[in-house]
Structure 1
């Protein structure tokens, strides 16, 4: 049984090694990364992947909404300045090495058999996979909501951590680049529920990795101030209210946790008050 367990855990090691070789082998000379221990290779792969996802999603979305579709989604006088966006990039890049450590640690725990991860969907079947995925998302959504809310309610946490992000508190300072502009510990704390879920819910390993990287794309999207009005998605319209009132819309992907715990505020209710 122990041999079988070790053999199965080796699947995770082989999988992360494969991902490392794809990313690092494509972008760096082997002499730079091959001598590194496996954990550091994983961290470096996550760092490079995080930087690429952050800049590609940020630049492409900014180009689309601020230049290609100028005045269609965002009024000219509400477009954030270059100075604001460069500051957001600076804050993010200072924190990115720490952000990259969290998925490296979660992968290490998976490789050592400490979680409920499974390597192949065929191990459980598609129906079970979908049920587990929904449960994982509910656990993560619940955890992120309360982590975010406590970062506001516990005053020292807000003052020393979360206030770094809330200097962006109106439309002409919010941009897709603000999505990851957190104090490093703040950003890690808000992503920790994804890791906690691995101990509570059987989770497909690759799905977990993809969901962590989806965070970078999602957070860019919810800071663009464009209200898509797609129920029950917690889109940018809701999150912009969070940046102006500080007491509403703590949720992440959906409005359900805010609805459940009484902190939901709908952008449509604020629409007559908007100055365009």
Structure 2
């Protein structure tokens, strides 16, 4: 796993060197450097994706995608940012631990696609994504079904339960343990199926962008993606659309509710 350790060290130097003086981060152990890099990266993804998307849909295209009464207040968005900021140091710990395990050869992660061939790489990626979809679906569903978990963890996120309280900044506004539990399937999958290290990192980054997107209340109608149209229903009914990137798991386990069906019931 020397190649992966070299790669993570490069990422640390790239990010930390761009934002902090060398004397601040260079003396730190590799594990802490990795955590600090993940913390900075998570904040960048959260704020850049959140601010750009909010600026576009709430100001630049105001009342185009959402009616005026569906636009969340600045106060609501600041509250969501506050909740996310309290959890961000803990969120950053999970990918740091997963990278530590990868670097030490405890997982099935590989450094180069040439280690397995392109056909094998694509097959492994599909299996990895299925495991993640399955795991996140059931983790999210159990956070609703197991009442103590909902009361003490997941309810923090579900105070945002209407269009005018949901925003891209709600995407990471979770109790820290709740956010970690929902991301754990990414780590579990590392032990079950080989996955390219860069792709693993890319998918973790995509999580941050995706969670912002599915909380903007805009139904993009990109079947079979579990977009904001589906996820807004989840925030209003609490019993549907637990899924992640796609609607497949909700379809398989009988919890899928389409935005078009929801509109018909309202009418």
TM-score (norm 1): 0.96
- 2:27 aligned residue: 35
Query: Using the alignment, how far apart are the partners of 2:120 and 2:57 within structure 1?
Result: 39
Query: Using the alignment, how far apart are the partners of 1:139 and 1:273 within structure 2?
Result: 33
2:84 to 88, 92, 97: 92
Aligned with 2:242: secondary structure? Answer: coil
Aligned with 2:217: secondary structure? Answer: coil
Query: Using the alignment, how far apart are the partners of 2:94 and 2:262 within structure 1?
Result: 37
Query: Using the alignment, how far apart are the partners of 2:264 and 2:57 within structure 1?
Result: 23
Whether 2:104 is the aligned partner of 1:112: answer yes
Whether 2:208 is the aligned partner of 1:216: answer yes
Query: Using the alignment, how far apart are the partners of 1:123 and 1:249 within structure 2?
Result: 37
Offset at 1:128?
1.1
Whether 2:227 is the aligned partner of 1:235: answer yes
Offset at 1:127?
1.3
Offset at 1:273?
4.9
List alignment gaps of at least 5 residues for structure 1. 1-8
1:159 to 148, 151, 165: 151
Whether 2:40 is the aligned partner of 1:48: answer yes
1:17 to 9, 14, 18: 9
Aligned with 2:246: secondary structure? Answer: coil
Query: Using the alignment, how far apart are the partners of 1:271 and 1:126 within structure 2?
Result: 44
Aligned with 2:92: secondary structure? Answer: helix
- 1:3 aligned residue: none
Offset at 1:77?
1.1
1:72 to 64, 74, 77: 64
- 1:57 aligned residue: 49
Query: Using the alignment, how far apart are the partners of 1:274 and 1:178 within structure 2?
Result: 25
Offset at 1:210?
1.0
Aligned with 1:47: secondary structure? Answer: helix
CA RMSD in angstroms, aligned pairs only: 0.9
Offset at 1:272?
3.7
1:131 to 119, 123, 135: 123
Query: Using the alignment, how far apart are the partners of 2:216 and 2:266 within structure 1?
Result: 16
Query: Using the alignment, how far apart are the partners of 1:76 and 1:130 within structure 2?
Result: 44
Query: Using the alignment, how far apart are the partners of 1:182 and 1:14 within structure 2?
Result: 33
- 1:200 aligned residue: 192
Stretches of 4+ aligned residues off by more than 2 angstroms? 272-275
Query: Using the alignment, how far apart are the partners of 1:158 and 1:54 within structure 2?
Result: 24
Aligned with 1:172: secondary structure? Answer: helix
The size of the alignment, in residue pairs, is 267
